Amino acid sequence: MASSVWNSLTCNNLFVAFAAVTGFVEKKEGQNVDYVFVVEVLWSDGRTTYVKRTYNDFEALQRDLETFVKTEKHTFEGSNPFPRLEGKM
């Protein structure tokens, strides 16, 4: 069963229907502090998965999205279509 589901999933017929941060934990390594966020992902086929991402991962994603939007010359009413990502304390 799992292999037939795996083989039928492609980028053409599966997409993220909803995603939300459902928790976080503070991770300390020496003097460095980072945050790891738990993201609940609901897929178009009804499955739910959970992924962990760091604050730095979200910063990198935002930079990549902003670069993509500028490269593709998408137009938006505002100067930046993405919400501001709050900085670390």
Per the listing, tokens 């980028």 go with 11
Q: Please, which residues have CB within 8 angstroms of residue 22's CB and are 6 or more apart in sequence?
A: 38, 39, 40, 50
| Structural contact between residues 62 and 88, judged by C-beta atoms closer than 8 angstroms | no
Q: Which domains does the chain have, with CATH numbers?
A: 2-54 (3.30.1520.10)
Reported pTM: 0.65
What is the signed CA dihedral for 67, 72, 74, 79, rounded to 10 degrees?
30
Which is more confident, 20 or 65? 20
For the segment 37-88, what is each residue's pLDDT rounded down to a tens digit? 999 999 999 999 999 999 889 989 888 988 887 776 666 666 666 777 776 6
pLDDT at residue 60, as a whole number: 92
Predicted pLDDT of residue 8? 59
Q: Is the pLDDT of residue 4 over 60?
A: no
**Three-state secondary-structure class, residue 29:** strand
Cα–Cα distance for residue pair 69/76, rounded to 1 Å: 10
CA 87 to CA 20: how far, in whole Å?
19
pLDDT above 80: residue 23: yes
